[in-house]
């Protein structure tokens, strides 16, 4: 762990690359906290807490760190209504600040997509989500700072005819760390891990009510994390979790999306 006092001399002149005016890690730490978590291959609770300020904590029912990067909310139960018409749908939205907001869906096996996404062919991805300031060649497994993160995943609903599952859907795409988007193991629970539970339920013929809510603080451009809730109509699948938008090799300025290297 780095303490504030021990890093002032070394880092006071260290700046991010930003066209909106440079800010130093010293200023970032002075304004945000007295210390900052050190580099970690895994998401420790100290790193996860960077995305759980009091305002978001208050809006989640009893969030508890699961030991693997995410928070269990309300004892992993949700009040999503599963007495629904089983017709699949996806409904995206923007909030008053034009940021991606709550995404609701009913999904089943019929809209499950097994083919790879072809957005990248012929440079078809043009969307720059809010706060998307990429950083490359980072230390560790996740060498990119950010992905274009889907709220409702391509593999979950890509066959729904009226749903834009591409990376150009500004209502469905957030600036999300590579870890938060990709981590998929039971010991490394990013959003892809929980999406995998939905995909598995779809493959088993189940119908699932799903909600993904990006959570922001004030006017910040980058969400602190995504609140994920799912429940199958037969009750076999249910989860209620918060996936923090963090990464073990960077520190994020959520107001702008610019990052500094985590030492």
Catalytic residue among 28, 133, 150, 227: 150
Which distant-in-sequence residues (6+ apart) come within 8 Å of 261 by Cβ?
Answer: 138, 249, 250, 251
Rounded Cα distance, 249 and 140, in Å: 7
Q: Where are the alpha helices (DSSP H) in the chain?
A: 4-11, 25-32, 45-48, 54-59, 154-157, 178-182, 191-203
Q: Count CB atoms within 10 A of the CB of residue 96.
A: 6
Q: Locate the DSSP E strands across the chain.
A: 2-3, 35-36, 64-65, 71-72, 89-91, 103-107, 146-150, 173-177, 208-215, 225-232, 238-244, 250-252, 259-261
Rounded Cα distance, 76 and 114, in Å: 28
Catalytic residue flag (residue 28): no
Q: Are the beta carbons of 67 and 60 closer than 8 angstroms?
A: no
Residue located via tokens 């999306």:
257
Q: Cite the active site residues.
A: 150
């Amino acid at each position: 762990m780095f303490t504030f006092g021990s890093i002032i001399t070394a880092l006071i002149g260290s700046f991010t690359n930003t066209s909106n005016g440079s800010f130093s890690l010293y200023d970032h730490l002075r304004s945000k906290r007295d210390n900052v978590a050190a580099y970690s291959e895994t998401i420790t609770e100290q790193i996860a807490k960077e995305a759980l300020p009091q305002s978001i904590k208050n809006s989640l029912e009893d969030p508890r760190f699961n030991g693997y990067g995410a928070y269990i909310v309300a004892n992993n139960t949700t009040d999503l209504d599963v007495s629904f018409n089983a017709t699949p749908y996806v409904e995206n939205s923007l909030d008053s600040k034009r940021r991606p907001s709550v995404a609701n869906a009913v999904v089943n096996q019929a809209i499950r997509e097994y083919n790879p996404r072809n957005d990248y062919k012929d440079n078809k991805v043009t969307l720059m989500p809010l706060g998307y300031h990429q950083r490359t060649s980072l230390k560790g497994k996740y060498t990119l700072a950010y992905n274009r993160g889907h709220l409702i995943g391509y593999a979950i609903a890509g066959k729904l005819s009226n749903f834009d599952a591409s990376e150009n859907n500004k209502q469905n795409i957030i600036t999300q760390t590579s870890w938060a988007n990709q981590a998929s193991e039971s010991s490394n629970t990013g959003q892809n891990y929980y999406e995998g539970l939905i995909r598995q339920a779809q493959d088993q013929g189940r119908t699932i009510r799903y909600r993904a809510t990006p959570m922001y603080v004030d006017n910040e451009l980058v969400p602190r994390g995504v609140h994920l809730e799912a429940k199958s109509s037969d009750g076999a699948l249910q989860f209620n979790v918060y996936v923090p938008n963090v990464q073990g090799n960077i520190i994020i300025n959520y107001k702008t999306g610019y990052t500094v290297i985590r030492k």
